[in-house]
């Protein structure tokens, strides 16, 4: 029983008008109470559970600074409720009392509750949490429920606080005046106040259980319930939802709809599951790196919903999801029941901790991707209560967040643990990728750990060394692109999401391992590139190999046939030219080079002369009946080709005398037979364009010593 020596004398010490003014001042928040329903208190069982949580996470002080002693014996509750809403209320109340622990202790001392009353140590935690709720209700009487069975310890503490109500209000007012604050909310550190502000607007994220329902069915179900699909849920008070830009199976809801959502069938039947977005980003990154038959090893998962999400994403594959770190067999029935309700079938739980698992464990020979979610400070989380309920089981997480930071020594301890786990993950020789994800924004836990692990990785393993790879998630804004320039994926804490860090370490596959068509299609499907295409209809590798071999054989046969035809044609034309030269009585012409032989050996129409030599050699070959000859000989035209203005033609002149400037002198020197003129080009390279200057007689006049250079014997077809 609580005893007090001065509570009956207090009513004459203060002016009732002043006390009424004190109780009407804003107490725990600087926001206006207009439009906000008045708080009526919590059930007795919530106070008891919150007191037990607070007792385990309360900030211990040195012996010189101890004002109130907290016992080690927890309070006994009549019933332990497993309802998530009940647990959330208890954690929120305990976390709020933890943030204001120093202020609440000062109020209890200043109001003479301590040490004037004889209070057992194990009730100190209950007094703290109930005092926070009492001042949050502006010291109004709690509304009791008729259906709830009262708890004696709660009733005793409540009677004590009611008897000291005026003193408590006065002590609170003096505390605000001392700190020059409108409410005790403004006494908190700035980092904590910013965190609370973000938590008040942080939307809810839930992933779709595609094992039970399709996204389209979820959309239609929500629309029938009055929910409208929008692009962004920020600053919208209506019943709306949006699809996340990074994860196609994640929906976003405004935070004020939480109580309405948890009561609909979609959430009761595990068709929609609440999950922090950072965990969805991690499992989607793993999915993008998987092949059809690859296994996954998950380390430090925290929430079993993360494991279930990974299982659902790989439901269509033959992959297994290995989870390590579950040492208690008592959890097996609950886990199996949960996974059965969700529809997971490919999960296997390992009893060993991750550090104790050998890298060559025979069970993990097909593990290609390791998802590492190490325990971290969580300084990127805005709402630690929601996070601890969904992701984290350690209540120490709340203690760090209540002060807005973490000690340097504890940060170094966490960073060392993260480094050891990451280096151990890199020792698995069969693994090809490691996904490292935290909910922290501290570089000591993120970039520093990854870079150190890459620098000191063991290169003696058979596998290829690890390297840093760019994110496999879509970058949806300029800010995300800027934050990911060094191949790390980062999200800063904001009003729409918690902060997180994600890094992907990959290494080149062993050259002896071949990637099947199914693996390529699986990766493409994970990235959303094969919408509506069934993977089972893809052709087999053996058929493609046979087709490729057949096509290569046909292509080679065709090329050989073309080459043989070209060789026969050249030999036939060469023999014809040789026979023709024997019948000519003139001295034989000088031996031609290969280009001239090819030009002279072409089939010509009657009454036509050979084209001029100034025309490029490849332009002389204009026979349309053999296009393959041009393709095989001249695959890469010379740069001059683009600069020639004229088309390839053959100039045919009639068998008459050319009009020279002095025809008499020329006739006396020419033979009696007809003259066929040929346009002779210089032996230098072909100019960029054909000459435009008219020909003179000097250029075409035959020399006396070499008349055969211009004279040709008559052709047989003339």
Distance CA 137, CA 133 (A): 6
Closest CA to 128 of 178, 164, 159, 93: 93
Asked whether the CA dihedral 592, 597, 599, 605 is positive or negative, the reply is positive
Radius of gyration of the chain (CA): 45
List the structure tokens of 429.
Answer: 């020789």
> C-alpha distances in angstroms, 229 versus 123, 207, 236, 251, 614?
49, 15, 12, 10, 74
Asked whether the CA dihedral 65, 70, 71, 73 is positive or negative, the reply is negative
* Helix H or strand E encompassing 451: helix 447-455
Distance CA 188, CA 185 (A): 6
What lies within 8 Å, CB to CB, of 103 at 6+ separation is 175, 184, 187
State the alpha helices, DSSP H only, in 14-66.
Answer: 16-24, 44-57
Distance CA 325, CA 353 (A): 4
CA 241 to chain centre: 22
Catalogue the active-site residues: 439
Q: Judge whether 503 and 489 are in contact, CB under 8 Å.
A: yes
Q: Dihedrals φ, ψ of 489, to 5°? A: -100, 120
Closest CA to 303 of 230, 443, 207: 207
Closest CA to 108 of 48, 182, 167: 167
Is the bond leading into 154 cis (omega within 30 degrees of zero)? no
């Amino acid at each position: 029983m609580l005893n007090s020596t001065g509570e009956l004398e207090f009513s004459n010490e203060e002016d009732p008008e002043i006390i009424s003014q004190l109780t009407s001042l804003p107490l725990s928040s600087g926001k206006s109470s207009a439009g906000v329903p008045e708080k009526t208190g919590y059930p007795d069982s919530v106070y008891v559970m919150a007191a037990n949580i607070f007792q385990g996470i309360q900030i211990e002080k040195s012996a010189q600074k101890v004002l109130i002693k907290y016992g080690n014996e927890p309070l006994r509750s009549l019933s332990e409720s497993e309802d998530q809403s009940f647990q959330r209320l208890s954690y929120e109340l305990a976390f709020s009392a933890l943030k204001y622990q120093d202020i609440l202790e000062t109020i209890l001392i200043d109001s003479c509750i301590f040490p004037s009353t004889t209070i057992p140590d194990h009730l100190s935690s209950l007094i703290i949490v109930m005092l926070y709720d009492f001042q949050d209700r502006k010291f109004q009487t709690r509304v009791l429920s008729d259906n709830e069975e009262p708890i004696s310890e709660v009733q005793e503490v409540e009677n004590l606080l009611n008897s000291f109500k005026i003193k408590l209000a006065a002590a609170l007012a003096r505390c605000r005046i001392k700190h020059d604050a409108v409410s005790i909310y403004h006494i908190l550190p700035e980092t904590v106040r910013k965190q609370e502000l973000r938590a008040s607007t942080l939307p809810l994220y839930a992933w779709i259980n595609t094992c039970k329902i399709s996204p389209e069915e979820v959309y239609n179900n929500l629309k029938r319930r009055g929910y409208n699909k929008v692009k962004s849920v920020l600053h919208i008070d209506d019943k709306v939802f949006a699809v996340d830009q990074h994860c196609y199976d994640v929906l976003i809801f405004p935070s004020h709809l939480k109580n309405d959502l948890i009561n609909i069938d979609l959430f009761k039947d595990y068709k929609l599951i609440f999950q922090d977005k950072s965990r969805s980003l991690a499992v989607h990154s793993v999915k993008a790196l998987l092949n059809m038959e690859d296994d996954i090893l998950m380390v430090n998962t925290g929430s079993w919903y993360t494991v279930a999400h990974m299982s659902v994403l790989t439901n269509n594959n033959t992959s297994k999801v290995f989870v390590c770190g579950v040492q208690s067999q008592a959890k097996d029935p609950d886990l199996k029941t949960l996974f059965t309700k969700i529809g997971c079938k490919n999960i296997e739980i390992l009893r060993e901790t991750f550090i104790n698992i050998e890298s060559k464990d025979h069970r993990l020979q097909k593990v290609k991707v390791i998802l590492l979610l190490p325990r971290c400070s969580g300084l990127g989380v805005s709402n630690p209560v929601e996070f601890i309920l969904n992701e984290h089981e350690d209540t120490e997480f709340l203690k760090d967040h209540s002060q807005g930071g973490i000690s340097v020594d504890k940060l170094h301890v966490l960073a060392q643990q993260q480094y050891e786990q990451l280096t151990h993950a890199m020792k698995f020789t069969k693994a090809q990728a490691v996904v490292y994800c935290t909910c922290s924004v501290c570089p000591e836990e993120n970039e520093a750990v990854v870079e150190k692990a890459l620098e000191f990785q063991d290169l003696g393993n058979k596998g290829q060394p690890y390297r840093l790879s760019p994110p496999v998630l879509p970058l949806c804004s300029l800010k995300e692109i800027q934050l990911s320039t060094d191949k790390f994926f980062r999200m800063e804490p904001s009003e729409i999401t918690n902060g997180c860090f994600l890094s992907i370490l990959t290494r080149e596959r062993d050259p002896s391992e071949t990637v099947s068509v199914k693996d390529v299609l699986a990766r493409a499907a994970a990235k959303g590139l094969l919408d509506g295409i069934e993977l089972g209809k893809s052709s087999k590798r053996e058929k493609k190999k046979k087709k490729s071999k057949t096509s290569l054989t046909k292509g080679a046969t065709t090329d050989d046939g073309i080459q043989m035809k070209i060789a026969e044609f050249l030999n036939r034309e060469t023999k014809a030219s040789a026979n023709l030269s024997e019948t000519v009585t003139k001295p034989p012409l000088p031996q031609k080079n290969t280009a001239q032989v090819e030009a002279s050996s072409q089939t010509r129409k009657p009454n036509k002369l050979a084209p001029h030599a100034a025309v490029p050699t490849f332009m002389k070959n204009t026979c349309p009946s053999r296009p393959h000859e041009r393709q095989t000989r001249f695959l890469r035209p010379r740069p001059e080709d683009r600069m020639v203005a004229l088309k390839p033609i053959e100039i045919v002149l009639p068998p008459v005398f050319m009009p020279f400037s002095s025809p008499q002198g020329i006739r006396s020197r020419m033979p009696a037979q007809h003259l066929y003129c040929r346009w002779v080009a210089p032996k230098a390279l072909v100019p960029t364009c054909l000459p435009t200057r008219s020909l003179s007689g000097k250029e075409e006049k035959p020399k006396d010593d070499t008349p055969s250079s211009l004279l040709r014997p008559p052709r047989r077809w003339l």
